[in-house]
Structure 1
Amino acid sequence: MLNMKGHEDESGMVLDIRNLSSPARSAALNRFTDESVEVATSVPGRKLHKWVAGSFCLLCILQAALNVSLRLALRTEVTCKNLTNEEDSLTKINCALQQDSMKKELEEQKRQLDYMASQVNVLTNEREELKRKLEDFAHYAQQGWLYFNGSFYYISSIAKSWQDSRDNCSQRGAVLAIISSREEQEFIRQQQKVMWIGLTDRETEGVWKWVDETPLTASFWYSGEPNNFKGRNEDCVVINHYYSNENNWNDAVCENEYSWLCEKHM
Structure 2
Amino acid sequence: NLTEERNQLQTSYNNMTQEKNQLQAEIERLRGKITELTSQICPDGWTKFNSSCYFISSGSKNWDESRQDCLRRGADLVIINSREENSFLKNFGLRVWIGMSDLETEGEWKWVDGSSLSYTSWAKGQPDDAREGEDCGEVRPERDGWNDLFCTHNQQWVCEKKTCLGVEI
State if a TM-score over 0.5 links the two structures. yes
Pick aligned residue for 1:234 from 134, 147, 150: 134
Distance in structure 1 (CA, Å) of the matches to 2:147 and 2:32: 44
Pick aligned residue for 1:151 from 25, 38, 52: 52
Distance in structure 1 (CA, Å) of the matches to 2:117 and 2:109: 6
Task: Give 1:138 deviation, angstroms.
Answer: 2.1
The amino acid that maps onto 1:240 is R
Task: Summarize the alignment of residues 1-266 of structure 1 with structure 2, pairs less than 5 Å apart.
Answer: 44=30, 134=37, 137-138=39-40, 140=42, 143-229=44-130, 231-243=131-143, 245=144, 248-266=145-163
Deviation string for 1:10-36 (max 9, x for gaps)?
Answer: xx6xxxxxxxxxxxxxxxxxxxxxxxx
Distance in structure 2 (CA, Å) of the matches to 1:162 and 1:257: 7
- The TM-score normalised by the length of structure 2 is 0.74
Distance in structure 1 (CA, Å) of the matches to 2:41 and 2:62: 27
Task: Return the structure number with greater relative CO, CA threshold 8 A, min gap 6.
Answer: 2
Distance in structure 1 (CA, Å) of the matches to 2:132 and 2:149: 8
The amino acid that maps onto 1:255 is T
Residue 137 to residue 170, structure 1, CA distance change in 2 (3 Å): farther
Structure number with greater Rg is 1
Give the ranges of 4+ consecutive aligned residues of structure 1 lying more than 4 Å apart after TM superposition.
none
Q: Alignment length, in residue pairs?
A: 140
Task: Give 1:140 deviation, angstroms.
Answer: 2.7
Task: Give 1:139 deviation, angstroms.
Answer: 5.9
Task: Give 1:166 deviation, angstroms.
Answer: 0.5
Please provide the CA RMSD for this pair. 2.6
Task: Give 1:242 deviation, angstroms.
Answer: 1.8
- The TM-score normalised by the length of structure 1 is 0.48
Distance in structure 1 (CA, Å) of the matches to 2:126 and 2:136: 12
Distance in structure 2 (CA, Å) of the matches to 1:221 and 1:46: 38
Task: Give 1:263 deviation, angstroms.
Answer: 0.6
Identical aligned residues as a percent: 41
Residue 46 to residue 186, structure 1, CA distance change in 2 (3 Å): closer
More helix by share: 1
Q: Could you tell me which runs of 5 or more consecutive residues in structure 2 were left unpaired when the two chains were aligned.
A: 1-18, 20-28, 164-169
